[in-house]
Every structure is written in C-alpha cells, then in structure tokens.
Structure 1
C-alpha cells in the first residue's frame, strides 16, 4: 500500500522550513498540490531579464507557479481548493510561519551582495511585494558601494579600451544596477568623490 500523501498543512510547513516563501508563491504551490497535480521543486530558469525569478543555479528561487498547468489529466477534479488553501495561509500567517515582510527581508539579504536595486525590486514585484520606504532608501544609499564591490570581484581593474568598458557596463546593468551607478563605478568614483 503506497504511503498516504502529506496534508496541505504538512507540505506548507515543510516548504517554509526549507526557505521563506511569499504568500502568492506558497498559495500557487498549495493549489497545485491540492488539485493533485505534481508540485515540482522550484526550478531554476536560464539567466536573463525575461526569465521569471531566475537566480544562480541551484538556489531554488524561481516561482513554482510558472510551471505549465496540466488540466488535461483524465478525471481531473474540478473542485475549487482556493478557500481551503486561503484558510491555511491565514492560519500560517496568524501563527508567524508565513510572513511577507520576512520574505522581503530574506530576499533582499540574499540578493543585495550580487544584484542592484532594479533587479531586487523586480523579483519582489513578481511575488506581488515591494520593500517599504525605509528599506528602499537603505538600498539606494548602499547601491554604489555594492556595485563597486561586484565590479571589483569580477574585474578589479579599470577598462583598458572602450570595448572593455562597454562590457563592464553591460555586466553591471545586467545585474540590475542603475545607469547612474554603473557610470560612476566605471569612472572610478566613490561616494566621497561624487
């Protein structure tokens, strides 16, 4: 006799024990599980701005709801599980297991060492979230230093020719740093000199 599948509450707690989830992301995963469709582990997309919530290979930060739905299964149950899932999400939130603010803080903490504000805010927006004004200002205040650190780790020396300078600028822009910050880093300006 095959083992009985875990309840939605158990699955949600297991997923939350692995890493923070936004409410929207966890809701999508729970709805897939409740409908009996397989819930793949969060997949990592190919790098690029068009990919949903991409990250470095293996960090498991993509949005599982982006996987295609397979409603063509024979005998698919048309039962609406949304009320049950929403009630579970409310229960998880009330007990502190699920917190959008904690998800925002976690995402910013893991991303700020490698990515710029544009990239971080875009990823949060894909989850239907946004940092508060204080957090946004703190990110703005540290963006130049973070961009310089990323540039230093990758290149370490000023560009010798215009082609190399363009490549360095594209690299920083691809990481989500603003154009003003990219220009300042490539020129070698620090916060004190600007």
Structure 2
C-alpha cells in the first residue's frame, strides 16, 4: 500500500512537469524510506519517466532567453542535476552565444543604452542578477548602439 502511494505521488509530480531525480526524491522523502524512494525512482528511470538530462534540457530551453549560463548552471546544480547533463543541455539548447542573449535581454528591458554612470550601474546589476558574467556585461554596455545593430 505504501509503495503504491509513493509511486502515485511520484507520478503526480511528474505529470505536472519534469523533475530531476534529486528534486523528486526530496519531494517524496516525507512519504517513504530512502530504499523505497530509490526503488521507485530507479523504476521510473528505467521506464523513461524520469530523466535528469531531459529535465535539464527543458529547464535550459525555458530559461535561456532570460538568464546567463552561470545562472542556468547554478539553478540546475541546485536541483541535483549532474554536471555532464548540465553541460550537454546548455550546449544543445543555447544556440545563440551569451553576448547575443544578453544584448537581446538588455534591449527588451531598457529602451536606451546607459547615458550616465547611474544608469550604467542599474543595467549592469540587472544583467548580473540574471547570471551574465561581469566581463561580458562590461563589453556589452561599452559598445556603441550602432555596432550592435
């Protein structure tokens, strides 16, 4: 009975969205023993219902336009995705380079390039909070608007 309940809980979570193995194990931890949870998760992995690489690809696909590579890596690592799955997902789902993504995000958020130091700092903080590298932000905010077109 407990195993069926645990399996049903796992299926309900996976029906809503993909989860990483660690994320799903954390959600099920209060409802069963570690051995039971590992057994259920192993079976779901065998059936193809649970996949860290599929989760990572979906996560990157959904967030890549708004976040830098650093933030994507951090978020996936926090969700327990292995490094090799993270690297593969970023390589396959981020066809544009990071500078192009940062430029598009900056254009969509800010109407004009920074006119003074205060505006420059505001835009830089925004891009940094989205996970873009500091050197990339400096390069992006120093370029002429005519060059980026």
Partner residue of 1:170? 125
SS at match of 1:132: helix
Alignment-derived partner of residue 21 in structure 2: 23
Deviation sequence 1:49-96 (CA, Å, 0-9, x none): xxxxxxxxxxxxxxxxxxxxxxxxxxxxxxxx1111100000000000
Alignment correspondent of 1:90:
42
**What secondary structure does 1:85 align onto?**
helix
* Equivalent runs, 1:146-157 vs 2, <5 Å: 146-157=101-112
Report the CA distance shift for 1:123/1:183 in structure 2 as closer, same or farther (over 3 A): same
Q: Quick one: distance in 2 between partners of 1:98 and 1:189?
A: 47
**Higher relative contact order (Cα pairs below 8 Å, separated by 6+ residues):** 2
CA gap 1:21/1:181 in 2 versus in 1, 3 angstroms: same
Return closer, same or farther for 1:106/1:96 CA change in 2, 3 Å cut-off: same
Asked if 1 retains the 8 angstrom alpha-carbon contact of 2:69 and 2:90, the reply is: no
5 Å-filtered alignment, 1:55-70, equals none
Runs of 4+ in 1 over 6 A off after TM superposition: none
Write 1 or 2 for the structure with the bigger share of helix: 2
Corresponding residue for residue 5 of structure 2: 7
The residue number in structure 1 matching 2:53 is 101
Work out whether 1:135 is the aligned partner of 2:90. yes
Structure 2 unaligned runs (5+)?
Answer: none
Distance 1:137-1:86 versus aligned 2 partners, 3 A rule = closer
Deviation at 1:138, TM superposition (A): 6.8
Q: Aligned equivalents of 1:7 and 1:85: distance in 2?
A: 11
TM-score (norm 2): 0.85
Task: Verify the 8 A CA contact 2:71 2:131 in the aligned structure 1.
Answer: yes
**TM-score, with length taken from structure 1:** 0.66
Structure 2 contact 68–130 (Cα < 8 Å) conserved? yes
Name structure 1 gaps, 5 residues minimum: 1-5, 35-80
